[in-house]
Amino acid sequence: MNKIFTIAMVALMLVFTLGVTLAIPNGANEVSYKNSTRLAADSPKNYTAIAGNVTELDITGRTITQSWQGYYGNVSGSITLSDSAGNPMYNWSLASPQGEVFASTNGLNLDWTGVKCFNWTENGTDLESTMNIDDAADGINETFETYILNAHADFIVGSTEFNETTACMSTEVFDSSGDKNPGVFEEVLLSDASGNPIFAALLEQDVDGFNSITHDFQMLVLEDGHGNTETTDYFFYVELE
């Protein structure tokens, strides 16, 4: 199921200790959503069979992915200078902020100081096996390009810079053209120091999305639906600029 996420009133806490400022992605302060049903199954087509005939059929079909969930929506918020109790000394409001939205199933235990590109060589096979998508047409490396230079824009997570030469696994989620558009709705596959996957969507400025409605972000996350009826909880973080 697709869910529209509007993330509002998000604060980036600046922690000042002995003259050192540490900025890391902060948990989404507020999330509202609307449920959206998946694509309805296509009705079967019929063709009359006549004894003795031999008929060539060219068949085109669609199968709903059992490996991915999609999220999309808009982001607003502020950068704040606040104390540990959340009392703001000053706020900078951001109607259309730049930055990133992050999603991870290990959200409560992520080590943001060790964030890095997801290592496909070391961890890719194990992750696909866990999600039951070994050699699947909609697998991870069939969805995210593997280590291609200049594949995504520059961005920073905390104090770690990811630039076009870093070559993280990345993709573009379809826009209103119904296809990928280079540099639009970019998503990068990261991990923390322990190898926990982190999906990172780079924020846009009101771009026409897959459904021809403007969004600030679109992202794909893994979800095992191969005969598995259990749902997966994702934790959302944002980093605003």
Residue 27: the pLDDT is 63
Which amino acid, 135? D
Residue 213: the pLDDT is 94
User: What pLDDT tens digit does each residue of the chain (241 aa) get?
Assistant: 444 443 333 333 322 233 344 567 776 655 666 666 666 777 788 888 898 899 888 888 878 888 999 999 998 888 889 998 989 999 988 767 889 999 999 878 888 888 999 999 999 999 999 999 998 999 999 999 877 766 788 999 988 999 877 779 999 999 999 999 999 999 999 999 888 999 999 999 889 999 999 999 999 999 998 888 888 999 999 998 8
Residue whose C-alpha is closest to residue 190's, from 175, 181, 201: 201
Residue 177: the pLDDT is 96
- In whole angstroms, what is the distance from residue 101 CA to residue 122 CA? 25
Residue 193: the pLDDT is 87
What are the residue ranges spanned by the domains of the chain?
Answer: 2-38+62-240
Pairing of strands 15-17, 20-22: antiparallel
CA-based end-to-end distance of the chain: 30
pTM as predicted: 0.81
Residue 129 buriedness (CB in 10 A; 0-12 / 13-18 / 19+): exposed
3-class DSSP assignment, residue 140: helix
Backbone φ and ψ for 143, nearest 5 degrees, come out as: -105, -40
Residue 35: the pLDDT is 63
User: What sign has the CA pseudo-torsion 154, 238, 217, 118?
Assistant: positive
DSSP states of 109-129: G--GGG-EE--HHHHHHHHHH
